[in-house]
Each structure stands twice: as C-alpha cells, then as structure tokens.
A and B are shown apart, each in its own frame.
Chain A
Amino acid sequence: MAIKKPTEKVKDLFKGEPEPLNDAMITGRQTNVTLDDAIGSLVLNQKRHKKAWWMFFVFGVMGTGLLGIAVTWLLYRGIGIWGNNQPVAWAFDIVNFVWWIGIGHAGTLISAILLLLRQQWRNSINRFSEAMTIFAVMCAAMFPLLHTGRPWVAIYWLFPYPNQMGVWPQFRSPLMWDVFAVSTYFTVSLLFWFIGLVPDFATLRDKSKNRIGKVILAIASLGWRGSQRHWHRYEQAYLILAGLSTPLVLSVHSIVSLDFAVSVVPGWNVTVFPPYFVAGAVFAGFAMVLTFAIPVRAHYGLKDLITMRHIDWMAKITLATGLIVAYGYVLEAFFAWYSANPYEWDMTYLRRFTGPYSWAYWSLIFCNIVAPQIFWFPSMRRNLVVVWITCQFVSIGMWLERFVIIPMSLTANYLPSANKMYYPTFWDFAMFAGTIGLFMFLMMLFIRFMPIINIFEMKDLLYKLKGGGPQSMTDDVGPDEKLGGAR
C-alpha cells in the first residue's frame, strides 16, 4: 500500500523543512483501494486516533464546558454580565457572530463556487471545509440568539408564526433578513454536506467489519447502491445545489454587513460593506481551513491527497482576498474623508487612527494587510510553519476588524455627552473561548467518525487524472507528469 502510515507526528511539521512543491493534485501510487484505505481507515480503524487526537478533544471538551457555564450564568443573570451597555449595545456577541459566520464562508466557496468553476483540486478539501462551515455557523448563531437575553421569549420577533399577541416580525429590518439568511445558509450547507456524505457512508458500510458500525453506516447511507440512474439524478441535484449555494453565500455576508451599512451610525454607514465583508469572510475562512488542514494532513498521513499544491493555492486565495479587504479599508477611510461628514471623519480619525482603541485598528492593519503579503513569495507558501502562523494573524486580524467596526463605532455618539468607552468582561471572553472549544470538539468528532475527504470525488478525480471519461473533462488536468505517480 502506497499510503504513508501515520508515523509523521505533528512535531515533525514544525521542523520547518519545506516539502517539495509538486504540481500534482494527488501524489503517490494511488488506486481506488488506496484512496478508500487512506480516508476510510480514519473511521473504520479507530486505533489510528492517538494521543494528539485526545489532547485536542479534551481541549475541546473543556472549552465546551466553559461555554456551558457561560451560557448558564448568562441565562440566570441576564446579559448584564457582559460589558455591553448603552451606547455600546452591540459588542463581543455581534463581533463573534460576524467572525464565525465569516469563517464558514470558505467552506461554501470551496464546495460550491470551485465546483462550478471546475476547480477539481477542491475535491480533497471540500468535505473538511463544509464541516467547518456547519460548525462555524452553529457557533455564530448562538451569539445573536443569546444576545436577546431570553431567546425563548424572543422567538416571536425572529420567526414569523401566528401568535396570541397578533404581532408579526418587521421584514423591513436587516435583522430579519439576517435570520432568514443565516438559517437558510445553515440548512443548505447541512443538506449539501449530507448528500455529499451519502455515497461515502455506503463505501464505509461495505468496508466495515464491525457489525454495529455497519448498521449505523447502512442507515446513514440511506441504502445507497451506486446505481447509475441514481448517480445521474444525484449529480443533477448536486450541481444545482452548488449553483444555489453560490449566490446564497454571497448574500449571507452581504446581509450581515447590511445590519451595519443600513444604519446611520458613523463608521457603519458604508456602501462598500457587502463586497468587503464577503471578501473578508473568504479570507478568514481560508485561514481557518489551512489552520486545520496543515496539522491534520501531517498527522493522519494524508499528504498524498492534500498536497503542497493545495496549500499553495489556498495561500494564494488568502493573499488575493486579503488584498480585496485591504482595498476595503482604504475605501472606508477615503469615504469618511471625502463625504465631508464631520461625524464620519471624527470616527475614522479620532477613534480609529488615534484614540484609546487605536491599537486595535493598527493591529488589524498589520494582521490583515501587512502579514499576508508574505504569501507573494513562493518559498514562504511552501513553508508550512510560516503559512500556519500567517493564518493565525489573519484570524486575529479578522476578529479585530469586526471589533473595530462594531463596538468602536458605537462608543461615539452624535451627542458627545453620550459617548462612553466599551470594556469587555470575563464572561465576554469566556463565551468566545467557549465557542472555540465547541468548534474544536465538533471538528475532532468529525475527524474521528466521518470521512474527512470526499472519497467518491477523489476517485472521480483519479479517474480523470488517469485520462478516463470524456476528453473535454481532462483538458485542464493535462499530461502524465502532473500526476505524480498516480498513473
């Protein structure tokens, strides 16, 4: 079997030796059987999960516990335990909501937009990033719901249902658009992920030697039998779902940005917000995909399937979206000045460039504009340690961006007597850390119990790389040397 055994530990990764930048989407001598084994064994052979998995899992469990405590205390005492107060009514909760939603966007971009663009390199990272999308949206949705203080009472103005008070939600409000956008996004992402998993569950069902595992997988696979008549409709549905997800993902962060852009708060009322939020979301999302993909591929011996070519391209996308975001920052400042609106300019100059939270603004500029420029250098894109650390800068930078936009803009009012600083409390940090723990917890369960790479799409890719199928499909993958040893 050509697949490397998972002998390479995460620590080897940090020795900093660059892997060769090969040009192949699949390396090693692969067949359908080796693909099954490389991916399926993570589920079927539970012994492959060792100390490192447990370490991160326990970390995730602890974080989830912290989240549980933070939420319980919040529900008991009310949102007064947070630092939010007038005039800063939106703070960590909304910052974290926007940050998490943004992280989810890379998953949909990879699974839907790259599918439509026939970027077949997505096949080895789409499952993984779709899972990330779903977990990130779960973390995100928690914040606005809990921000209502008593979510079970808030339902009547969030969801349209006939109630005894005879009132309906206000559909002219961007907050309602948000409810529909986020819940649709979650549902569609879940559907997309699930139907992608069905044929893979069937593969695992047929490979499983464990009776109970087989039964569970048989139920999860819905009795999938790989009939061409089924594949035919499956592919139609899958492609159209990708076509539906593409405008959806663009709409979600646009609508999130409208929560701010539609208002009259200086620093929020900016027309460039929708595209700039979407680019920022993809930027943060790719950083998160890389953050997980780099250690996972090393630890589980998946370097033949998630190759340096993938890392290289993801780094390039991070750089490109980072430049769009940088353009957004420049425009934001330019329009504050060009509008000649004194409130806008005061916000930009007195509250961002200078002022008590200016460190947040300048750190964000460093993290999001300066740090990713290192990806211009091919040798840096090949150095996994550099890529990983840069991704951490991006994640922090994108969080700071939302912090700069949301609570900082609210600290200054039209009436200076109402100005007030914002200071987060312990519970603000606890809940944020808790969602990171929950995310980690869910990702670890996902790695252990589900195929983390799409098996059937990898087989399809391998088939096409070997020259199978209608010729038009293979035009872009080209000659033998791009195969590594796959032929």
Chain B
Amino acid sequence: MSHGHGHDEGPGIYAMVAEFETADELMAAAEKTRDAGFKDIDCYTPFPIHGLSEAMGFRDSRVPWFIFTGGMIGAFAGYTLQWYTAVIDYPLNVGGRPLNSLPAFFPVMFECTILFAALTAVFGMLAMNKLPKPYHSIFNTPGFERASQDRFFLEIGATDTKYDSSKTREFMEALSPLNVSEVAE
C-alpha cells in the first residue's frame, strides 16, 4: 500500500481518519466504506478483530505460503547437510551401517524444517508489514495513541481514486464516529 498525494488536494495529505469507540462500530463502518467503493482503506485497532479484514475487503494469504516454502527449504538444508557430511566429506563406517543412514537423519531434518519455517514466519511477516518503521504518517492523527489502547480508527487513504477532501469527510461523518480528521503526511 503506497500513499502519495491526493488528486484534488494540495501536497501533503495522507488520509482521512475516523475514530470509533467500539470494535463493532468500526466493523460496521468498514463494511460501509468498502461498499461505497473505497479501495485504499485500513483500520487501526488495539487487538486483532476477526472478520475485520473481510469487512475491509482485504485478503492476503502469502505469509502461509512463505512459511511453507521456508519449511521445505529447511528440510532440504537439514538433509543435505547430513548427507554431505556423512556420505561425501567425512564418511565413517559405523558398524557397517549405510553411510546415508536416513532414519538417523530425521530428527535433525525435522528440527531444521521447524527452525526455517519459524524464522520465515516471523521475518516474513515483519517484511510484508514493512516493519520496523519508527515513523508513519498515521501517527499524526490526533489521539492516535489510543489506537493501541481502547479506540478504533478507520482510514481512507488520500491515494484512493475516490478520495475528495470534503466529500470523503462528509461520508465519514455519516458513519457516526467520535470525530474525523484529515491527516497530514
């Protein structure tokens, strides 16, 4: 999601942001915003609310696929490491058993699968979310510190093709929020 300058506005507008008191109000407002045809919308909440992504019309299932790929690479790396060291580079005859002793290699393969998948899960998730990011325009919203505590915010980005300073404000005020503010970039 990238935010540039608004179409009708002067430079430096990031978004129109509405503040709600409850999660359910936010959910209803997000649905209306989606149905009104806005695409560049986001919500800011103190805890994850199930169903809100659908209400916003947001879908993303890339993280699980990354994790799956990470896990597969881990399994492959774990096996390759053991096969290379035990068969190619440092073959040891242990009681006449085969050098490529697969059953004995499973525990390390398994651990490598989990390790790589978990690292991919965390760092993949952070990368997709473009974190760490100490500064973001949304922090300019008045009262935004409560987004991590007890308030729920809905944002319509200025890059949205339907964005219009006064019309968007009117639209958001009709959603009966606590307040609406236009946020500078």
A206→B144 CA distance, assembly (Å): 9
B134 to A218, Cβ gap below 8 A? yes
User: A327 on the interface (CB 8 Å rule)?
Assistant: no
Across the interface, do A177 and B107 meet the contact criterion of CB distance under 8 Å?
Answer: yes
Interface residues of A in 213-260 (CB under 8 A from B): 218-219, 222-237, 240-241, 244-245, 247-248, 251, 255, 258
Task: Take A169-B85, A236-B125 as given contacts and tell me if A225 and B147 are in contact as well, using a CB distance cutoff of 8 Å.
Answer: yes
B1 at the interface (CB under 8 A from A): yes
Report B-chain residues with C-beta under 8 Å of the C-beta of A244: 67, 71, 114, 117-118, 121
Contacts of A206 in B (CB 8 A): 145-149
By the criterion CB–CB under 8 Å, are A187 and B148 in contact? no
A203 to B147, CA, bound (A): 8
Interface size on A, residues (CB 8 A): 66
Question: With a CB–CB cut-off of 8 A, which chain B residues contact A469?
Answer: 23, 49-51
Q: Which residue of A lies closest to B123 (CB)?
A: A191
Tell me if A172 and B121 are in contact (CB < 8 A): no
B122 CB, min distance to chain A CBs, angstroms = 5
Q: Which B65-111 residues have a C-beta within 8 angstroms of A?
A: 67, 71, 81-82, 85-86, 89-90, 92, 94, 97, 101, 104-105, 107-108, 110-111
User: Do residues A184 and B111 form an inter-chain contact, with CB atoms below 8 A?
Assistant: yes
Does A148 lie at the interface of the complex (its beta carbon under 8 Å from any beta carbon of B)?
Answer: no
Determine if B23 and A468 form an interchain contact, defined as CB atoms under 8 angstroms apart.
Answer: yes
Q: Which residues of B contact A167 (CB under 8 A)?
A: 90
Residues of chain A from 403 to 459 with CB closer than 8 A to chain B in the complex: 456-457, 459
Q: When the two chains form their complex, are residues A36 and B108 in contact, meaning their CB atoms are under 8 A apart? A: no
Q: Which single member of B23, B45, B131 contacts A222 (CB below 8 Å)?
A: B131
SS class, residues of chain A in contact with chain B: helix
Q: Does A168 contact B (CB under 8 A)?
A: yes
Most chain B beta-carbon contacts within 10 A, residue among A160, A234, A237, A460: A237
Does chain B have a CB within 8 A of A176? yes
The answer to whether A229 and B58 touch across the interface, beta carbons within 8 angstroms, is: yes
Q: Provided the pairs A222-B132, A241-B118 are in contact, do residues A170 and B60 lie with their beta carbons within 8 angstroms?
A: no
Report if A80 contacts B (CB, 8 A). Answer: no
Contact partners of B119 in chain A: CB under 8 A:
187, 191
Say yes or no: is A207 at the interface (Cβ < 8 Å to chain B). yes
Query: What are 10 contact pairs spanning A and B, CB under 8 A?
Result: A176-B108, A206-B147, A223-B133, A223-B136, A228-B48, A232-B48, A233-B129, A255-B107, A456-B47, A469-B49
B42 touches A227 (CB 8 A): yes
Nearest chain A CB to B133 CB, angstrom units: 4
Chain B 29-73 near chain A by CB (<8 Å), digits 1 or 0: 000000000000011111111111100101011011001000100
Tell me if A228 and B42 are in contact (CB < 8 A): yes
If A232-B53, A236-B61 touch, whether A168 touches B86 (CB-CB below 8 Å) is yes
Per the bound structure, the CA–CA distance linking A138 and B74 in Å amounts to 24
Q: State how many angstroms separate the Cβ of B98 from the closest Cβ of chain A.
A: 11
A463 touches B132 (CB 8 A): no
A195 contacts B101, C-beta separation under 8 Å: no
Residue of A at shortest CB range from B131? A222
Q: Give me the 3 closest cross-chain CB pairs, A-B, nearest first.
A: A222-B132, A168-B85, A32-B150
Picked from A171, A187, A202, the residue with its CB within 8 Å of the CB of B115 is A187
Q: Which of A32, A191, A219 contacts B118 (CB 8 A)?
A: A191
Contact A172 B101 (CB under 8 A): yes
Q: Please determine whether B58 and A226 come into contact, CB atoms closer than 8 angstroms.
A: no
B121 closest partner in A (C-beta): A237
Which of B53, B104, B115 sits near A188, CB closer than 8 Å? B115
